[in-house]
Amino acid sequence: MDRLVIDDLELKGKQVLTRVDFNVPVANGKVGDVTRIEAALPTIKKVIDDGGRLILMSHLGRPKGAVNAKFSLKPVSEKLAEMLGKPVQMASDCVGEAVRKQAEDLKDGEVLLLENTRFHKEETENDPEFSKELASLGEVFVNDAFGAVHRAHASTVGVTKNIKENAAGYLLLDEVKNLSRLIEDPEKPYVIILGGAKVADKLKVIRNLVTKATSILIGGGMAYTFLRAKGENIGASLLDEKSLATAFNTMTVANNSHPHRPVDFMLPLDHTVATGAKNTEFKTSENTTIEADWRGVDIGPATVAAFTEKISCAKSILWNGPMGIFEDDNFAKGTMEIARAVAAATENGAFTVVGGGDSIAAIEKAGMKDKISHVSTGGGASLEFMAGIDLPGIMALSKAKKKVPVKEKAVE
């Protein structure tokens, strides 16, 4: 990456403003999943160990520009203190005179967590004055919030216009390195597995990687838009009518992606289908056709077998999006089987990346999270990166300083 990195910065004695992604589940004042906090620890510990004065900022949820106790980062500060084994100060806001004094009073190696940046509407608007106020808290800036770098917000982009040195943290670097491996020169066979409900975002990924993939496996709610685009009956299944034409064109591009070996673009061969207000009645379809009043809720056994066969031969795998409504055990089998197949491929030497909140929840439910090469903390950011889109939070970082080669002294 041609951007400044945290190892390029002098941190000792400096106020190090650091954007992290602490958008974690909080219920009853307790943090649930600590994955994103754990992912930020290497950068946090680097600043502390180097004697920096660490000021952390993050958003949590969607408070829509208003203070809402439900979205306070206070439980996160308590969990972080527990994980670090040292105190973490909690600010009452992310801007203001009191917060600035709290930041200035930090001693080397101390940590301050600012309150939710999205309590101010100016955050998502990337307001210049708000950005300047945030930036005044730090002498250098580190962005380690990969999950937020696709947003041009005040805490990801605006602050960089007011601080001289802006660098990438270890998590951001790790994400870029691992995802780039599946874009630049992936080892073949390369299998891309896409699911979930949203079609539009993933169409961009397909278009960007179609010439590099060996197989593209489509499941989840998005599969029914592709099936309908092919003229299949999908009953009452989820359908994104606005994406029908693009889905059809994407399949055409896939079929013509290589003159000698077009990519295997695989849609479900069968489904678990359900009916009733609460999907109380369900069965396996005999083929791709879904009857009226029935909706697809998972891939069927024939599809699982076909997808697993492709996955088992892969050397590189990208997976984003579950194969069905996996939260319900009745409709989780397809997603669980794919999770096991991807984990088995990893064990056999494949490089595997799983991204997206639902996909991560799925591999956790299957007990396979520790058996994946790289679990990406960025949902939308991962998809946009894989689609080849320049992410504003990365582009805003300082360009890396060119190293001037040392001239050897001429031998007389």
Query: Whole-angstrom Cα distance, residue 268 to residue 194?
Result: 12
Residues 348-376, mean pLDDT to the nearest whole number? 92
Query: Whole-angstrom Cα distance, residue 247 to residue 244?
Result: 5
Burial of 211-234, coded b for 16+ CB within 10 Å and e otherwise, reads ebbbbbbbbbbbbbbbbbbeebeb
Residue 283 lies in a domain: yes
Q: What are the tens digits of pLDDT across the range 9-68?
A: 999 999 999 999 999 999 989 998 888 999 999 999 999 999 999 999 999 999 999 999
Question: End of a domain among 117, 152, 171?
Answer: 171
Instruction: Kindly state whether residues 219 and 270 are assigned to the same domain.
Output: yes
Residue 198 lies in a domain: yes
Instruction: Kindly state whether residues 36 and 138 are assigned to the same domain.
Output: yes
Residues 336-359, mean pLDDT to the nearest whole number? 94
Q: What are the tens digits of pLDDT across the range 83-107?
A: 999 999 999 999 999 999 999 999 9
Residue 210 lies in a domain: yes
How many independent structural domains does the chain possess? 2
Instruction: Kindly state whether residues 122 and 258 are assigned to the same domain.
Output: no
Residue 359 lies in a domain: yes
- Please say if the pLDDT value at position 265 is more than 90: yes
Residues recognised as catalytic = 36, 198, 357, 380
Instruction: Kindly state whether residues 276 and 340 are assigned to the same domain.
Output: yes
Instruction: Kindly state whether residues 67 and 201 are assigned to the same domain.
Output: no
Instruction: Kindly state whether residues 300 and 215 are assigned to the same domain.
Output: yes
Instruction: Kindly state whether residues 191 and 114 are assigned to the same domain.
Output: no
Confidence grade of residue 411 (pLDDT, cut at 50, 70, 90): very low
Residue 397 lies in a domain: no
The share of the chain scoring above pLDDT 90, in percent, equals: 85
Question: End of a domain among 138, 155, 171?
Answer: 171
CATH code assigned at 182: 3.40.50.1260
Q: What are the tens digits of pLDDT across the range 99-133?
A: 999 999 999 999 999 999 999 999 999 999 999 99
Domain limits for position 13: 6-171
* Whole-number pLDDT of residue 259: 64
Residues 339-355, mean pLDDT to the nearest whole number? 96
Instruction: Kindly state whether residues 16 and 78 are assigned to the same domain.
Output: yes
* Whole-number pLDDT of residue 260: 64
Residue 403 lies in a domain: no
The number of residues in the chain equals: 412
Residue 49 lies in a domain: yes
Instruction: Kindly state whether residues 183 and 299 are assigned to the same domain.
Output: yes
Residue 399 lies in a domain: no
Question: End of a domain among 102, 137, 171?
Answer: 171
Instruction: Kindly state whether residues 137 and 24 are assigned to the same domain.
Output: yes
Instruction: Kindly state whether residues 214 and 148 are assigned to the same domain.
Output: no
* Whole-number pLDDT of residue 412: 39
pTM of the complete model: 0.90
Six-digit token string for 44: 């946090």
Instruction: Kindly state whether residues 22 and 141 are assigned to the same domain.
Output: yes
The share of the chain scoring above pLDDT 70, in percent, equals: 97
